[in-house]
Chain A
Amino acid sequence: MAVTVQTLDTLAPGQKAVVKDLAVEGLERRRLMDLGILPGTVIEPELKSPLGDPTAYLVRGTLIALRREQARHIHVVPLEEEQDEH
């Protein structure tokens, strides 16, 4: 199956994915890495704010809220086999 790369903000709720790369530089990139978001990390959208943005993602056992404009810069590959879990 072809590997589909998409951005984090387009993931469906509950769909697990693996971070492919971070398309940001500088402090913002280091920030994301500090929070444990780096290539290879499994990430899953879990909560949406009532107003639609930000979204909280489950990363290494912790909920981290990111605004959409940041999630857009995080490229991920969905984990297919996880889908039927929900």
Chain B
Amino acid sequence: MNTDAVMPKAACATCSLAQNARLIKLGIETGGWDYVVALAGNPNTGKSTVFNAVTGLRQHTGNWPGKTVTRAEGGFIYDGKRYKLVDLPGTYSLLSTSVDEEIARDFILFGQPHVTVVVVDATRLERNLNLVLQILEITDRVVVCLNLMDEAERHGIKVDDRALARDLGVPVVPTVARRGEGIPELLAAIAQVASGEYATRPHRIRHLDPEVGQAVERLTREIEKTFKGLPNARWVAMRLLEGDERIIEAVRKHELGELAPAAEMASTMQPALETA
């Protein structure tokens, strides 16, 4: 299957109204969902703005990294299907085991969203791809929202979204979230990835040096044997090689795969506070 989720611009000049009619914003109502969609991305790329545009809610937004620090949930109906959308705090990476990336990391890893939308800043694509490539190692159900296209244009930056979609193997949708441009196309892409209609072929990190690459491969095979059907064995292998305590613990307790999002993660400050 080779459907290109990035709708050709010309075809959509007239259809965006019709597509919008297929969207019903549900605000804070998230019950009875068919799909869970996570909004991830670097800080300050417009995740909360996308969230607001789709759910009709008014999460606070602001032009500085770190505006959102808690998880927010909202709902919408698109094409008759109910979606729960989760706005996450921005992170530069999911590899650092630092506290401020914890909410996002835990949700993407253990919340097992049906689709993860990575909102990227079109004016600084290279650094944003760092996170995109990490997320593509965790899940193959990804849509890239290439936001801030107006800013890119203002600064004379052009991004070839089709080439990018080819390279990443997932849909790439250019948007100007603040004006609602591209949101219908984004929803269409989310729906296609959620239903499996768009089969993604996610990019895998290529330039691993041979020694590291082999270690990852060997461990991945072993993990796949132990945990059949685990979607992100390669990622788990990388985390084990790094010595990530959280993942080691999950393997030891055979919790991988069933690790649901812990309802309320205990405040991670606590142990540290007792010694403070």
* Touch test A–B (CB under 8 Å): yes
Contact surface of A with B, Cβ cutoff 8 Å: 27, 30-31, 33-36, 60-62
Partner of A30, one of B98, B126, B130: B98
Chain B residues with Cβ under 8 A from A61's Cβ? 123-124, 126-127
Chain A residues with Cβ under 8 A from B130's Cβ? 34, 36
Q: Which one of B47-55, B76-84, B89-97, B220-228 is at the interface?
A: B89-97
Tell me how many residues of B have a C-beta within 8 Å of chain A. Answer: 11
Q: Which 9 pairs, one residue from A and one from B, show the smallest C-beta to C-beta distance? A: A34-B92, A34-B93, A30-B96, A61-B124, A60-B127, A36-B127, A60-B126, A62-B124, A34-B96
A-B contact pairs, 29 of them (CB 8 A): A27-B96, A27-B97, A27-B98, A30-B93, A30-B95, A30-B96, A30-B97, A30-B98, A31-B96, A31-B98, A33-B93, A34-B92, A34-B93, A34-B95, A34-B96, A34-B130, A35-B92, A36-B126, A36-B127, A36-B130, A60-B124, A60-B126, A60-B127, A61-B123, A61-B124, A61-B126, A61-B127, A62-B124, A62-B127
Chain A residues with Cβ under 8 A from B92's Cβ? 34-35
Chain B residues with Cβ under 8 A from A34's Cβ? 92-93, 95-96, 130
> Looking at chain B's contact residues, is the secondary structure mostly helix, strand, loop, or mixed?
loop
The docked-state distance in angstroms from the alpha carbon of A61 to that of B126 is 9
The docked-state distance in angstroms from the alpha carbon of A11 to that of B189 is 46
Chain A residues with Cβ under 8 A from B97's Cβ? 27, 30
Q: Which residue of A lies closest to B126 (CB)?
A: A60
Chain A residues with Cβ under 8 A from B98's Cβ? 27, 30-31
